[in-house]
Amino acid sequence: AAKGAGRGRHAWFDATMERELVSRNAVEAGLREGIPLGQFVPYYEPQIDLETGKIIGFEVLARWEHPTRGVIPPDNFIPVAEECGLIADMSVSVMRRAFLEARDWDPSITLSVNIAPAQLKDPWLAQKIVKLLVETGYPANRLEIEITESSLFQNLSLAQSIVGSLKNQGIRLALDDFGTGYSSLAHLRALPFDRIKIDKSFVTAMNKDPESAAIVNAISRLGESLNLPITAEGIEDQGIYDSLRKMGCNKGQGWHFGKPMAIAATRRLLAEAGLLPSARGPLPDEGL
Ligand code: C2E
Ligand code: MG
Ligand code: MG
Ligand code: MG
């Protein structure tokens, strides 16, 4: 069929493919160079108890702090990292830094870390994460792993054994982006999830679009029946916050509470909320 295509069309495809290949290769080279240099860093998005309005944790979201191009969001490098087998190294680098940064925060504060489908095909994933926890001194019971349903397709029995090892350590498991992709209620039984995250596409639209609101409500009721707490992502304004509270949704995150932020801003937020330890040793000027 490709041979039958006109010459001009063929050339156009080639040029586009070449451009994609060039940028893909540039990203791959950037990953190889940047991971050991620590250019892939955690940003933190606050997670809120919707009843009290208090911060209860943060989702860890990777950012590429590129030396010349600024801060690059994950959609630009995670797919490439997965394709060329660098996702595990990137993820370990970001996790190590997050565990070190968060280990002295208030013990009520949890971290949620995203794990890509390719990582759930790695038989050593659980050991790698446990090793990081031991090295950094970050407690397993303050860690939650987020996976999407696409993780369940490739090798379910391996995914089940990895998740089993993680849960034995006290790490919790969340199902991310629920309601999108190949959502099937059977997936909820395939792994021992502790939480469902409603995809932001339904939440951001729920006060303009009755169908989205109905889906958010249905997922909340499902969580209630299955005794699985729900996190809503994509809470962009007070109106959405109010609607979710009326539906009995217990936990949420989104721009209304805070965008993903670098460590300095995260520490400021924690300090304002009294969630950093006060006994950090005297400052250099104190007591003079
Ligand atoms: P996700 O895990 O579903 O993360 C939520 C995404 O929604 C984040 O985008 C976050 O910045 C964005 N978001 C949060 N609140 C709002 C809101 O109120 N409105 C809107 N419109 N968006 C909001 P981000 O940081 O660009 O991350 C995109 C995806 O990249 C994540 O989706 C996650 O699947 C993936 N990702 C990020 N970091 C990592 C990582 O370290 N490892 C892996 N495997 N995946 C990661
Ligand atoms: Mg997530
Ligand atoms: Mg999500
Ligand atoms: Mg998402």
Residue nearest (by alpha carbon) to ligand 1 atom 25: 61
Which pLDDT band, with edges at 50, 70 and 90, does 268 fall under? very high
pLDDT value for 227: 94
Using the mean position of ligand 3's atoms as its centre, give its distance from the Cα of residue 281 in Å. 38
pLDDT value for 7: 52
For 215-243, letters b (16+ CB in 10 Å) and e give bbbebbeebeeeebebbbbbbbeeebbeb
Using the mean position of ligand 1's atoms as its centre, give its distance from the Cα of residue 60 in Å. 9
User: Does ligand 1 come within 6 angstroms of the Cβ of 236?
Assistant: yes
User: Does ligand 1 come within 6 angstroms of the Cβ of 199?
Assistant: no
pLDDT digits (tens, 9 = 90+) for 30-63: 999 999 999 999 999 999 999 999 999 999 999 9
Q: Which of 233, 236, 272, 286 is catalytic?
A: 233
pLDDT digits (tens, 9 = 90+) for 223-260: 999 999 999 999 999 999 999 999 999 999 999 999 99
Q: Which residues contact 155 (CB under 8 A, 6 or more apart)?
A: 120, 121
Least confident of 53-62, 69-78, 278-287: 278-287
Ligand closest to 115 (CA) is 1
Distances in whole angstroms, Cα of residue 66 to Cα of each of 20, 43, 144, 206, 257: 20, 14, 28, 36, 27
pLDDT value for 49: 98
Looking at this predicted complex, what is its ipTM?
0.96
Average pLDDT value over all residues in the chain: 91
Which pLDDT band, with edges at 50, 70 and 90, does 163 fall under? very high
Start-end of H helices in 87-178: 87-102, 125-136, 151-154, 156-168
CA 1 to chain centre: 41
Residues with CB under 5 A from ligand 3 (ion): 176-177, 233
Q: Is 233 a catalytic residue?
A: yes
Which pLDDT band, with edges at 50, 70 and 90, does 202 fall under? very high
Residue nearest (by alpha carbon) to ligand 1 atom 17: 234
User: Does ligand 1 come within 6 angstroms of the Cβ of 176?
Assistant: yes
Q: Which two tokens stand for residue 52?
A: 């009290």
The sign of the CA dihedral 135, 136, 139, 140 is: negative
Which pLDDT band, with edges at 50, 70 and 90, does 283 fall under? low
For 78-102, letters b (16+ CB in 10 Å) and e give bebbbeeebbbebbbbbbbbbbebb
User: Three-state SS for 72?
Assistant: strand
Residue nearest (by alpha carbon) to ligand 1 atom 35: 74
